[in-house]
Amino acid sequence: MTKTVYLLLADGQYLEGKGFGADLPREGVIGEVVFTTGMTGYLETITDPSYYGQIVVQTFPLIGNYGVIPQDFESDKPYLSAYIVREWCQSPSNFRCQGDLDTFFKNQNIPAVYDIDTRKLTKDIRSQGVMNGLLTYDKLWEDKEAEKEALEKIRAYHITNAVFETTRTMKTDYPVENASYHVGIWDFGEKSNIVRELMQRGCHVTAIRPDASAQEIKAMDLDGLMLSNGPGDPNDNPSIIAELKKVIEDKDLPIFGICLGHQLMALAHGAKVTKLKYGHHGANQPVKDLQQDKIFMSSQNHNYAVDASTLPQGCHQTFINLNDGSNEGVSYDGCRQATVQFHPEASAGPLDCESLFDRFIDVVDRYKAEKGE
């Protein structure tokens, strides 16, 4: 029997839907409610570690029509707290399909909601900003004391320890035959397609745990270093930033950062990172390359952005978001370091910015040649 689910938002309003996937726990599920605008790529969204601690709303009205395809996953499991759609497809069809969303969410213990007014919910988040919310079976408005207590918990909710909840505890190698380069990826919640993009370009990839020291990373004698994407507020990672400051003292080592990696690099250089009103989530975000004066469509998933006005001397804004003018990329003088806020690995999303991996490999190749290897 389908259960009625209520979403109580931090502003006190309720929305009603129906449950599928895993049952809610007795206390319900609290999370940061965000929306994503992709028409496809829902599997990559569901398994993206960057959504840790969030209740994800799909703005496209029908989700699940090609079912569950494990080859498209971006990590080993979902990290989101819950999932909201207008309608989910109960009879998916695809030659790679291995199941439906309802069964997948049940197996992964992820609650989901459908038949909810996602259009209204999205408009409210756009106008008021990202809000926390509670999914519950209880009619809390019938008990004002219980409602008051629930609202206090909702408003107090903050995503914590996100990086360390979504990352590895041991170094992992991804070898390729006749590798041309040895590239490390500092794992802050990495997506699998970043590793695949590097391997396709002849890189033996070593994934490094988030609490690795600068000394450990330097001892690996890498040809290049990737700073991965990841969840949460970058300002909550002072220990990582402290080690990153030591790593970037090596001005010769090629470093390329994506999403959270971009933000951590900016913080390590002395800039500030602030929270956006409702973030950028989806595979249709336009960005402008200020160096080439070209516009690209990009895939994005972040609630925070580098404050370009705080970039110190020698740091240059390279990309901007055309929807709100926020920062989307930075380059750094006197070194081989560059970062972007969006996801050039494009999973899911357009392939417009995939060439940034080629740019990085070109820098890695020159660095390796200078080392005489």
Residues with a catalytic annotation lie at 259, 343, 345
Euclidean distance between CA atoms 188 and 17, whole angstroms: 34
Query: Using an 8 Å Cβ cutoff, are 92 and 66 in contact?
Result: yes
Query: Using an 8 Å Cβ cutoff, are 361 and 203 in contact?
Result: yes
Q: Strands (DSSP E) along the chain, which ranges?
A: 4-9, 14-21, 29-36, 54-58, 62-63, 82-84, 87-88, 111-114, 131-136, 172-174, 181-186, 203-208, 224-227, 255-258, 272-289, 294-307, 315-321, 327-332, 337-340
User: In this structure, what token pair is assigned to residue 95?
Assistant: 């030659």
Euclidean distance between CA atoms 198 and 182, whole angstroms: 10
Q: Tell me 85's DSSP state.
A: -
For the beta carbon of residue 299, count every other beta carbon within 10 angstroms: 30
Query: Using an 8 Å Cβ cutoff, are 270 and 323 in contact?
Result: no
369 SS3 class: helix
Q: Which amino acid is at 8?
A: L
Backbone angles phi, psi at 195, to 5 degrees: -60, -45
Q: How far are the Cα atoms of 19, 81, 340 from residue 56, in angstroms, in the given order? A: 14, 8, 23
**List of residues 6+ apart from 288 with CB closer than 8 A:** 294, 295, 296, 319, 320, 322
For the beta carbon of residue 171, count every other beta carbon within 10 angstroms: 14
Find tokens 């990085």 and name the residue.
360
